[in-house]
């Protein structure tokens, strides 16, 4: 699958001429100004003046991307895990359990994200992306805080009067 004419994407926002300063031939002043705020220094031909541009290098320019689709993900669970990685970070979707039923999704959270501040921000982006790009109407997040019973040390047992043997020293 290929896109023959991808849309032009804006780089880093608008270019603002007000963020350009032209200074005189005082090189010490130019260096001091450039050190104060990161800018791009350019000499102006035919003069001793210097132009300091504080706009990002791609501001006001369109970007065109060429790409090749190497795999199309058809499994709804894998698609949702892909969205989790986009919102929360690459390699972070493994612990999530996903149940996709039509336009409803239930996502059970792993312990690793329950107290992670990045997750609190990422889940809103995830819900928005699932609504916008995956057609999901309902997203449910499940947080489980289960208490686990401590296990008996290996090999330790006790026997009841009726002869039954159980793990652990006592009940």
**Tokens matching residue 23:** 């200074």
pLDDT at 21: 56
Angle, CA of 86, 133 and 142, to the nearest 5°: 65
How far apart CA 100 and CA 106 sit, in angstroms, is: 7
> How many independent structural domains does the chain possess?
2
Shared domain for 161 and 141, answered yes or no, is yes
Residue 3 lies in a domain: no
Do 78 and 102 have their domain in common? yes
Are residues 134 and 116 part of one domain?
Answer: yes
Tell which of 22, 43, 63 closes a domain. 63
Do 102 and 18 lie in a common domain? no
Residue 99: CATH number of its domain: 3.30.70.2210
What is the reported pTM?
0.54
* 68 DSSP 8-state letter: -
From the number of C-beta atoms within 10 Å of its C-beta (0-12, 13-18, 19+), residue 157 rates as exposed
Q: Are residues 103 and 141 in the same domain?
A: yes
Residue where a domain stops, chosen among 17, 44, 63: 63
Same domain, 38 and 89: no
Count of residues for the chain?
171
Residues 85-135 pLDDT 10s: 999 998 889 899 999 999 999 999 999 888 899 999 999 999 999 999 999
My answer on whether 101 and 165 are in the same domain is: yes
Q: How far apart are CA 105 and CA 78, in angstroms?
A: 12
Q: Which domain holds residue 84?
A: 73-171
Name the pairing type of β-strands 40-43 and 138-142: unpaired
pLDDT band at 5; cut points 50, 70, 90 = very low
Residues 104 and 135 in one domain: yes
Q: Name residues whose C-beta falls within 8 Å of residue 141's C-beta, 6 or more positions apart in sequence.
A: 107, 108, 109, 123
Q: Do 157 and 99 share a domain, yes or no?
A: yes
Structure tokens at 169: 């020293």
Q: Is residue 2 part of a domain?
A: no
Asked if residue 68 is part of any domain, the answer here is no
Evaluate whether residue 128 is within a structural domain: yes
Residues 16 and 82 in one domain: no
Return the sign of the alpha-carbon dihedral for residues 46, 49, 55, 57. positive
- Examine the domain organization and report whether 52 and 109 are in the same domain: no
pLDDT at 42 over 60: no
Is the same domain home to 48 and 88? Answer: no
pLDDT tens per residue, range 7-26: 455 555 666 665 555 555 56
């Amino acid at each position: 699958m290929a896109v023959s004419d991808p849309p032009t994407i804006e780089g880093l926002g608008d270019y603002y001429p007000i963020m350009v300063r032209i200074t005189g031939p005082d090189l010490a002043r130019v260096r001091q100004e450039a050190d104060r705020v990161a800018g791009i220094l350019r000499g102006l031909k035919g003069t001793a003046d210097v132009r300091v541009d504080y706009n990002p290098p791609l501001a006001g320019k369109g970007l065109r991307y060429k790409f090749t689709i190497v795999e199309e993900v058809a499994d709804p669970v894998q698609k949702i895990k892909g969205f989790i990685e986009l919102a929360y970070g690459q390699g972070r979707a493994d612990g999530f359990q996903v149940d996709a039923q039509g336009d409803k999704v239930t996502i059970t959270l792993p312990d690793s994200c329950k107290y992670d501040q990045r997750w609190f921000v990422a889940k809103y982006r995830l819900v928005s992306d699932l609504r916008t790009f995956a057609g999901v109407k309902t997203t449910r997040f499940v947080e489980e805080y289960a208490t686990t019973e401590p296990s008996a040390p290996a090999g330790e047992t006790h026997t009841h009067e009726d002869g039954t043997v159980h793990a652990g020293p006592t009940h």
